[in-house]
């Protein structure tokens, strides 16, 4: 099936007389006929739902749908994108290990990786997104267990060369994790380019309507965890009655391990109602992505003609530094987000934002409504100047997220505000 069809039908096929739409299973727990029956499910938690700290029937439908859209074998939802990033690493790294990450990643992820991970005894080694394959390999140490990158960076809109990062990781026998939040599987499927694990903040385009924060981790099922570098996958898990993930759950050892260890212990799992809302967003994802791209391209082309910007950072534009990579990885568009560098620095950037009436100034992005933000004074406020420039942010940068309003109204709003600059 194609994307549009998967968005509507994957994950749930009602049986004779069953509700057409997957109902909300808003229940912490599930009743069984006997202790033996519960014991059986503890033996193999893929058989039934036990407790909403780690599985739920409504969320399960969403997980299956997202796994199918990404071309993976299984997925696990989390209560935020941050939690998806954290668990994607903790499932591979313990204290004393390290992982390599592109420095062009979301600001919240930079904090998590550079500061909080350090407290766990896990080192993040940052490399430039434009590093050569050799440079990435050079950064990988014997204790390095993963490579991480972001397909289309929030907010600087740099494009990750997924194949290059995958090749470097695979030469060192470690998996590549890709944060695919902005493109969504509608615009790019990183697994097809060699990524082993894909994560998302579902708070963005997947939910689409700014209703709820969430995340997801998708397992491609392709990485060989029996290569000798990952004993936690190949030796009995004492915390789970001796389960050997690569043997007992060979179809998706990564996601089953994440669920049985991390989700069991941390419990950062969405409720049934959250799964239900996320599913509504996913149903129109393919259609919406097409329209975001169409509107954003028109806005970007207009902005270039105004002469008020040092840079209109939108990789779908021919003059963009990442245009070639965008043509390869994002041939159907680069989402609704763009990074704008307003002439005159921070003062003019703030004036531009405050002069907008339709676009709202808020800490959100990739929404159905047009929104805008000044990253250096908000989402990326905690970063040092060096970290800011490493992830491609300057003081005059504005992140614009073009929504689904009529294009004439969006452009008129921008035109009006630009008059003040
Ligand atoms: C927003 C975002 C995150 C964090 O997601 P939350 O759902 O806000 O926790 C991670 N990665 C990217 C690319 C994002 O845009």
What is the Å distance from ligand 1's center to 145 Cα? 22
CB 398 within 8 A of CB 353: yes
Q: Whose CA is nearest to atom 8 of ligand 1?
A: 81
Instruction: Tell me what pLDDT residue 391 has.
Output: 73
Q: Whose CA is nearest to atom 15 of ligand 1?
A: 154
153 lines ligand 1 (CB under 6 A): no
Q: Whose CA is nearest to atom 1 of ligand 1?
A: 201
pTM: 0.97
Instruction: Tell me what pLDDT residue 42 has.
Output: 85
| Phi-psi group of 211: left, alpha or beta (phi > 0 → left; psi -120 to 50 → alpha; rest → beta) | alpha
Query: Terminal CA-to-CA distance of the chain, rounded, Å?
Result: 49
The pair of structure tokens assigned to 47 is 């058989």
Instruction: Tell me what pLDDT residue 141 has.
Output: 98
102 lines ligand 1 (CB under 6 A): no
Of 158, 183, 131, give the one whose Cα is nearest residue 313.
158
Section 145-160 average pLDDT? 96
What DSSP designation does 237 have?
B
205 lines ligand 1 (CB under 6 A): no
Instruction: Tell me what pLDDT residue 412 has.
Output: 98
What is the Å distance from ligand 1's center to 82 Cα? 6
What is the Å distance from ligand 1's center to 334 Cα? 17
109 lines ligand 1 (CB under 6 A): yes
CB 167 within 8 A of CB 132: no
pLDDT exceeds cutoff 90 at 65? yes
pLDDT exceeds cutoff 80 at 98? yes
d(CA 415, CA 404): 18
In 238-325, where do the E strands start and end? 309-313
144 lines ligand 1 (CB under 6 A): no
pLDDT tens-digit readout, 282-328: 999 999 999 999 999 999 999 999 999 999 999 999 999 999 999 99
Section 207-234 average pLDDT? 97
pLDDT exceeds cutoff 80 at 392? no
Nearest atom in ligand 1 to 182's CA: 13
Instruction: Tell me what pLDDT residue 375 has.
Output: 86
Which of 16-20, 24-28, 391-395 is predicted with the least confidence, judged by mean pLDDT? Answer: 391-395
pLDDT exceeds cutoff 80 at 140? yes
CB 396 within 8 A of CB 353: no
Section 57-64 average pLDDT? 98
Section 399-409 average pLDDT? 98
- pLDDT band at residue 76 using 50, 70 and 90 as cut-offs: very high
Q: Whose CA is nearest to atom 6 of ligand 1?
A: 81
The pair of structure tokens assigned to 375 is 């990253």
pLDDT exceeds cutoff 90 at 45? no
The pair of structure tokens assigned to 405 is 């309003």
Section 49-72 average pLDDT? 97
What is the Å distance from ligand 1's center to 379 Cα? 11
What is the Å distance from ligand 1's center to 207 Cα? 12
The pair of structure tokens assigned to 380 is 């990326």
pLDDT tens-digit readout, 169-180: 999 999 999 999
Section 199-216 average pLDDT? 98
Q: Whose CA is nearest to atom 4 of ligand 1?
A: 81
Instruction: Tell me what pLDDT residue 308 has.
Output: 96
What is the Å distance from ligand 1's center to 397 Cα? 19
| Phi-psi group of 127: left, alpha or beta (phi > 0 → left; psi -120 to 50 → alpha; rest → beta) | beta
Of 222, 221, 247, 245, give the one whose Cα is nearest residue 232.
245
Q: At residue 376, what are phi and psi to the nearest 5 degrees?
A: -60, -25
Nearest atom in ligand 1 to 109's CA: 10
151 lines ligand 1 (CB under 6 A): no
11 lines ligand 1 (CB under 6 A): no
Nearest atom in ligand 1 to 203's CA: 7
Q: Whose CA is nearest to atom 2 of ligand 1?
A: 201
pLDDT exceeds cutoff 90 at 395? no
Could you identify the residue written with the tokens 């939108």?
314
Instruction: Tell me what pLDDT residue 389 has.
Output: 82
Section 210-217 average pLDDT? 97
How many secondary structure helices (H) and strands (E) does the chain include? Answer: 19, 12
Question: For residue 291, what is the enclosing H or E element?
Answer: helix 285-306
pLDDT tens-digit readout, 348-386: 999 999 999 999 999 999 999 999 999 888 878 877 878
Query: How large is the angle between the packed helices 407-418 and 285-306, nearest 10 degrees?
Result: 30
Q: What is the mean pLDDT of the chain?
A: 96
């Amino acid at each position: 099936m194609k994307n549009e069809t998967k968005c509507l039908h994957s994950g749930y096929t009602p049986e004779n007389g069953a509700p057409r739409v997957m109902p909300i299973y808003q229940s912490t727990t599930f009743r069984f006929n006997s202790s033996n029956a519960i014991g059986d499910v503890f033996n193999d938690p893929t058989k039934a739902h036990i407790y909403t700290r780690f599985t739920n029937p409504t969320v399960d439908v969403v997980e299956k749908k997202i796994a199918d859209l990404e071309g993976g074998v299984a997925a696990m939802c989390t209560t935020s994108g941050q939690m998806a990033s954290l668990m994607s690493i903790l499932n591979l790294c313990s204290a004393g290990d390290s992982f390599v990450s592109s420095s062009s990643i979301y600001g919240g992820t930079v904090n998590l990786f550079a500061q909080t991970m350090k407290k766990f005894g896990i080192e993040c080694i940052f490399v430039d997104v434009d590093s050569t394959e050799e440079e990435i390999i050079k950064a990988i140490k014997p204790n390095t267990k993963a490579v991480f990158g972001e397909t289309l960076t929030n907010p600087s809109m740099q494009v990750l060369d997924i194949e290059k990062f995958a090749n470097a990781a695979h030469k060192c026998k470690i998996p590549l994790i890709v944060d695919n939040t902005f493109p969504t599987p509608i615009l790019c499927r990183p697994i097809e380019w060699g990524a082993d694990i894909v994560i998302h903040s579902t708070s963005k385009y997947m939910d689409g309507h700014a209703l709820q924060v969430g995340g997801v981790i998708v397992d491609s099922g392709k990485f060989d965890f029996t290569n000798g570098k990952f004993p936690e996958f190949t030796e009995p898990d004492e915390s789970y009655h001796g389960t050997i993930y690569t043997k007992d759950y060979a179809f998706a050892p990564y996601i089953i391990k994440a669920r049985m260890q991390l989700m069991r212990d941390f419990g950062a799992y969405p409720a049934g109602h959250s799964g239900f809302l996320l599913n509504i967003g996913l149903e129109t994802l393919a259609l919406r992505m097409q329209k975001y791209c169409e509107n954003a391209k028109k806005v970007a082309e207009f902005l270039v003609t105004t002469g008020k910007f040092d840079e209109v950072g939108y990789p779908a534009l021919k003059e963009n530094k990442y245009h070639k990579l965008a043509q390869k990885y994002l041939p159907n568009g680069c989402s609704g987000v763009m990074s704008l560098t307003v002439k005159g620095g921070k003062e003019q950037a703030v004036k531009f934002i405050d002069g907008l009436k339709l676009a709202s100034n808020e800490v959100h992005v990739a929404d159905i409504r047009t929104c805008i933000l000044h990253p250096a004074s908000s989402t990326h406020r905690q970063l040092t100047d060096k970290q800011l420039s490493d992830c491609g942010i300057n003081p005059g940068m504005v992140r614009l997220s073009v929504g689904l309003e009529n294009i004439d109204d969006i452009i008129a709003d921008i035109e009006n505000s630009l008059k003040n600059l």
